[in-house]
């Protein structure tokens, strides 16, 4: 007898097959006509398989009639055409084996709908709900799409380290990795903590980005990408920030800013196309229960083109918009969420790529432009903003000229000795190169419409919260 997933068993083509299915009970309903209906889900798809369990089964009175939400089962029988509406097939059971009961007075996922906030308290059980199950299937599809896109385009998947000594973004938001006793660290003659006695012989941190190491590999292998967890100790409790999130970072040698934007646009369109094709059932759930604009947004991104706009022009548009923004817009400051929303949701109604930001608000590694006619300095940065989420991608052309890089590091108070290897890249066969980072969770938010980033990652890590 063949084991089928619920997804396979729901297909019309399965009719007539002798099958075994395994999963968790969603509901049980007893019919007076001599059988019970048991809805079983195994996570393979949104839909359940309806199992028909006749009273003639040996354990009908002792077990089947006591099944409740959350119980785990193996059922064997025949897949038949379903008489009822709503599904093509059902399983006529000839045996039902209960693996584990789920005490109904304490099992939290009863039939009533729970808020997403409430479900976060049950992070261990919430993947059994329709919404979180659907998000995780889409998250998988997006991840696979990312690998497919880069592989087909000739990129090498490069694993950059999680433990690192350098602060790529220079924002001082790194988590320390140490084996020193926090209460009694070893001290040197001057009373300062003696980092030479720490595990790595120096201070070490969890990475905020694999970019710097990615640049090293792109400068040998041409086209590389990293895709892994990154960490930020930024104390912002928002619906778009996590302390641990997954980032995809392509890095390409002999690449300039416009090549980089073209790559980002092609990349996002490919992910959206795959999701639109392969996740229809889950998207319908998001469209109905989470965000009515999901389909329109995805189809818009897929069919339209991204607006490209220098930061300076965006600031002029915002200044002239007449909108009563809470924060004033001023050349030289970062745009706030409300400004991003106005650009992507109101003015352009679609994805916007902002480029050439003021040098003073961007990290040291970005390529410095010639000063503009007012003498203002910008860098070849690119942020991709999308409706509903805001910044989804941050990237740039990199500064490949040693003298300018060193000046920028000095400007930002970085110690060149800490970055000697990064500077070496500019000493030996330097080339123009560029790359970007896509936050996986923000991408999943975009394609699902989930408002809070905590609901698109299995175990969210946020300030004050790291249970399990
Ligand atoms: O703009 P960011 O900080 O850029 C970098 O880290 C570059 N080194 C990337 C590169 O060029 N290789 O981060 C990139 C993206 C953001 O646009 C956002 O989508 C996501 O990472 N991101 C976060 N997602 C969740 N929680 C956070 N705290 C995030 N910080 C950034
Ligand atoms: Mg950014």
Phi/psi at 184 (nearest 5 deg)? -135, 65
> Cα(319) to centroid of ligand 2, in Å?
22
Asked if residue 377 and residue 251 are part of one domain, the reply reads yes
CATH number of 158's domain: 3.30.930.10
Q: What confidence tens digit (pLDDT) does each residue in 198-246 have?
A: 999 999 999 999 999 999 999 999 999 999 999 999 888 899 999 999 9
Taking the C-alpha atoms of residue 83 and residue 85, their distance in angstroms, rounded to an integer, is 7
Per the confidence metrics, is the pTM higher than 0.90? yes
> What's the pLDDT score for residue 99?
98
Note whether residue 142 is domain-resident: yes
Per-residue pLDDT band at 1 (split at 50, 70, 90): confident
Q: What confidence tens digit (pLDDT) does each residue in 405-424 have?
A: 999 999 999 999 999 999 99
Asked if residue 212 and residue 83 are part of one domain, the reply reads no
Taking the C-alpha atoms of residue 360 and residue 66, their distance in angstroms, rounded to an integer, is 66
> Cα(245) to centroid of ligand 1, in Å?
9
Q: What confidence tens digit (pLDDT) does each residue in 279-315 have?
A: 999 999 999 999 999 999 999 999 999 999 999 999 9
CATH number of 33's domain: 2.40.50.140
Note whether residue 110 is domain-resident: no
> Cα(393) to centroid of ligand 1, in Å?
7
Ligand closest to Cα of 231 equals: 1
Asked if residue 339 and residue 418 are part of one domain, the reply reads yes
Could you give the ipTM of this predicted complex? Answer: 0.99
Atom of ligand 1 nearest to the CA of 395: 11
Number of Cβ atoms within 10 Å of the Cβ of 13: 10
> What's the pLDDT score for residue 168?
85
Ligand closest to Cα of 263 equals: 1
> What's the pLDDT score for residue 83?
86
> What's the pLDDT score for residue 405?
97
Residue nearest to atom 21 of ligand 1 (CA): 439
Q: Residues enclosing ligand 1, CB less than 6 A?
A: 168-169, 209, 211, 232, 234, 241-242, 245, 247, 249, 391-395, 435-437, 439, 441-442
Taking the C-alpha atoms of residue 144 and residue 275, their distance in angstroms, rounded to an integer, is 10
Q: What percent of the chain has pLDDT above 70?
A: 100
Atom of ligand 1 nearest to the CA of 251: 12
> Cα(441) to centroid of ligand 2, in Å?
14
Helix axes 130-152, 440-448, angle to 10 degrees: 120
Atom of ligand 1 nearest to the CA of 383: 17
Name the one residue in this structure whose structure tokens are 């009961």.
101
> Cα(439) to centroid of ligand 1, in Å?
6
Q: Tokens in use for 446?
A: 């975009």
Asked if residue 89 and residue 20 are part of one domain, the reply reads yes
> Cα(366) to centroid of ligand 1, in Å?
15
Asked if residue 420 and residue 279 are part of one domain, the reply reads yes
Asked if residue 162 and residue 81 are part of one domain, the reply reads no
Ligand closest to Cα of 255 equals: 1
Taking the C-alpha atoms of residue 274 and residue 281, their distance in angstroms, rounded to an integer, is 13
> Cα(323) to centroid of ligand 2, in Å?
24
Taking the C-alpha atoms of residue 22 and residue 71, their distance in angstroms, rounded to an integer, is 11
> What's the pLDDT score for residue 235?
82
Judge whether residue 429 has pLDDT over 90: yes
Pocket test of ligand 1: the residue of 394, 397, 438 to mutate, having most ligand atoms within 8 Å of its CB, is 394
Taking the C-alpha atoms of residue 254 and residue 192, their distance in angstroms, rounded to an integer, is 45
Over residues 270-281, the mean pLDDT reads: 98
> What's the pLDDT score for residue 278?
98
Residue nearest to atom 7 of ligand 1 (CA): 437
Note whether residue 75 is domain-resident: yes
Q: What confidence tens digit (pLDDT) does each residue in 394-410 have?
A: 999 999 999 999 999 99
Domain span at residue 84 reads 2-100
| Exposure string for 30-40, b = 16+ CB within 10 A, e = fewer | eeeeebbebbb
Q: Tokens in use for 141?
A: 């599809």
Distance of alpha carbon 46 from its chain centroid, rounded? Answer: 20
Beta bridge partners of 231: 244
Per-residue pLDDT band at 17 (split at 50, 70, 90): very high
Note whether residue 364 is domain-resident: yes
Asked if residue 372 and residue 310 are part of one domain, the reply reads yes
> What's the pLDDT score for residue 172?
81
Q: How far is CA 269 from CA 51, 358, 384, in A?
A: 40, 28, 13
Judge whether residue 111 has pLDDT over 80: no
Residue nearest to atom 25 of ligand 1 (CA): 241
Phi/psi at 196 (nearest 5 deg)? -65, -20
Total count of domains within the chain: 2
Return all residues near 135 (Cβ < 8 A) that are at least 6 apart. Answer: 282, 444, 448, 450, 455, 456
Note whether residue 60 is domain-resident: yes
Q: Tokens in use for 254?
A: 């002999």
> Cα(436) to centroid of ligand 2, in Å?
10
> What's the pLDDT score for residue 467?
77
Average pLDDT over the chain reads 96
- Residues 384 and 351: beta-carbon distance below 8 Å: yes
Note whether residue 106 is domain-resident: no
Asked if residue 95 and residue 132 are part of one domain, the reply reads no
Judge whether residue 459 has pLDDT over 90: yes
Judge whether residue 255 has pLDDT over 80: yes
Over residues 343-354, the mean pLDDT reads: 96
> What's the pLDDT score for residue 45?
98
Residue nearest to atom 26 of ligand 1 (CA): 241
Pocket test of ligand 1: the residue of 158, 228, 247, 250 to mutate, having most ligand atoms within 8 Å of its CB, is 247
Asked if residue 381 and residue 272 are part of one domain, the reply reads yes
Asked if residue 442 and residue 353 are part of one domain, the reply reads yes
Note whether residue 116 is domain-resident: no
> Cα(383) to centroid of ligand 2, in Å?
7
Judge whether residue 434 has pLDDT over 80: yes
Note whether residue 334 is domain-resident: yes
Residue nearest to atom 9 of ligand 1 (CA): 437
Asked if residue 169 and residue 92 are part of one domain, the reply reads no
Asked if residue 216 and residue 330 are part of one domain, the reply reads yes
Taking the C-alpha atoms of residue 230 and residue 208, their distance in angstroms, rounded to an integer, is 5
């Amino acid at each position: 007898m063949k084991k089928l997933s619920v997804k396979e068993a729901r297909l019309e083509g399965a009719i007539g097959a002798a099958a075994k299915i395994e999963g968790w009970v969603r509901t049980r309903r007893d019919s007076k006509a001599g059988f019970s209906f048991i809805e079983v889900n195994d996570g393979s798809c949104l839909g359940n398989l309806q199992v028909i369990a006749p009273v003639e089964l040996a354990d009908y009175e002792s077990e089947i009639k006591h099944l409740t939400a959350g119980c785990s089962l193996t059922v064997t029988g025949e897949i038949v055409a379903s008489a009822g509406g709503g599904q093509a097939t059902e399983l006529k059971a000839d045996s039902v084996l209960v693996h584990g009961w789920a005490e109904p007075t304490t099992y939290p996922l009863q039939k009533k709908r729970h808020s997403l906030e409430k479900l976060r308290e049950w992070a261990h059980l919430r993947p059994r709900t329709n919404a979180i199950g659907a998000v995780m299937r889409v998250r998988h599809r997006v991840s696979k799409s990312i690998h497919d896109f880069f592989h087909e385009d000739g990129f090498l998947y490069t694993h950059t380290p999680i433990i690192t000594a350098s602060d790529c973004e220079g924002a001082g938001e790194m988590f320390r990795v140490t084996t020193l006793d926090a209460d009694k660290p070893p001290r040197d003659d001057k009373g300062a903590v003696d980092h030479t006695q720490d595990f790595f012989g120096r201070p070490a941190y969890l990475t905020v980005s694999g970019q710097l190491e990615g640049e090293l590999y792109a400068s040998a292998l041409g086209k590389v990408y990293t895709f892994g967890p990154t960490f930020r100790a930024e104390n912002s409790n928002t619906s778009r920030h996590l302390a641990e999130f997954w980032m995809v970072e392509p890095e390409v040698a002999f690449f300039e800013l416009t090549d980089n934007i073209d790559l980002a646009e092609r990349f996002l369109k490919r992910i959206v196309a795959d999701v639109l094709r392969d996740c229809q059932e889950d998207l319908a759930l998001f469209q109905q229960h989470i965000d009515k604009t999901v389909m329109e947004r995805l189809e818009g991104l897929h069919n339209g083109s991204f607006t490209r706009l220098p930061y300076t022009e965006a600031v002029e548009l915002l200044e002239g918009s007449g909108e009563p923004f809470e924060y004033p817009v001023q050349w030289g400051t970062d745009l706030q969420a409300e400004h991003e929303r106005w650009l992507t949701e109101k003015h352009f109604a679609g994805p916007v790529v902002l480029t050439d930001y003021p040098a003073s608000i961007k990290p040291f590694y970005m390529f410095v432009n010639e000063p503009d006619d007012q003498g203002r300095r910008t860098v070849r940065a690119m942020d991709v903003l999308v409706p509903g989420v805001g910044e989804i991608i941050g990237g740039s052309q990199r500064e490949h000229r040693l003298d300018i890089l060193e000046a920028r590091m000095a400007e930002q108070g970085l110690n060149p000795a800490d970055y000697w290897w990064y500077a070496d890249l500019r000493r030996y066969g330097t080339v123009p190169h560029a790359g970007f980072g896509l936050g996986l969770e923000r991408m999943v938010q975009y394609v699902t419409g989930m408002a809070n980033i905590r609901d698109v990652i299995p175990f969210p890590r946020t300030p004050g919260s790291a249970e399990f």
